[in-house]
């Protein structure tokens, strides 16, 4: 039973346009959410996070939006660049202390076309 769902296995976007990656979760106890980026033959690397007390967090070209009532979050990348081509994992946990492990979605493969 997937508690974190990324329903789009892949996404293609033109360079310079916006990329929107979506994620849904079912466990209402989750209160901290993260996005990870993964290149081939490498481990996932942390990209951006958001606490449930916020509805938006921005870091440069990357913005994460959280809609708690819908149990939905999204990652926006503006403008998209070819180097953003990777697999993006949505993850969630209860709390931000590291006491509980991250639950991951299956990932969305983003291809940014030049």
Partner 1 sequence: DAGVIQSPRHEVTEMGQEVTLRCKPISGHDYLFWYRQTMMRGLELLIYFNNNVPIDDSGMPEDRFSAKMPNASFSTLKIQPSEPRDSAVYFCASSARGALHFGNGTRLTVT
Binding site for partner 1 (CB under 8 A): 34, 36, 41-46, 49, 89, 96-99, 101-107
Shortest spacing between CB 33 and partner 1, in angstroms: 11
C-alpha to C-alpha distance for 35 and 84, rounded to whole angstroms: 13
For partner 1, which is the closer residue by CB, 50 or 80? Answer: 50
For partner 1, which is the closer residue by CB, 69 or 99? Answer: 99
CA distances (Å), 50 to each of 1, 31, 39, in order? 24, 9, 22
Nearest to 110 by CA among 92, 93, 91, 85: 85
Shortest spacing between CB 62 and partner 1, in angstroms: 14
For partner 1, which is the closer residue by CB, 40 or 83? Answer: 40
For partner 1, which is the closer residue by CB, 79 or 104? Answer: 104
Shortest spacing between CB 105 and partner 1, in angstroms: 6
Contact 72, 30 (CB under 8 A): no
- How many angstroms from the chain centroid is the CA of residue 86? 12
């Amino acid at each position: 039973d997937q508690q974190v769902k990324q329903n789009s296995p892949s996404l293609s976007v033109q360079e310079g346009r916006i990329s929107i990656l979506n994620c849904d979760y079912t466990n209402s106890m989750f209160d901290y959410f993260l996005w990870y980026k993964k290149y081939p033959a490498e481990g996932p690397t942390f990209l951006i996070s958001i606490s449930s007390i916020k509805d938006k967090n921005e870091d440069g070209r990357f913005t994460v939006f959280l809609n708690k009532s819908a149990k939905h979050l999204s990652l926006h990348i503006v403008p998209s660049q070819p180097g953003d081509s990777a697999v993006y994992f949505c993850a969630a946990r209860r709390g931000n202390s590291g006491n509980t492990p991250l639950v991951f979605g299956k990932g969305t493969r983003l291809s940014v076309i030049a």
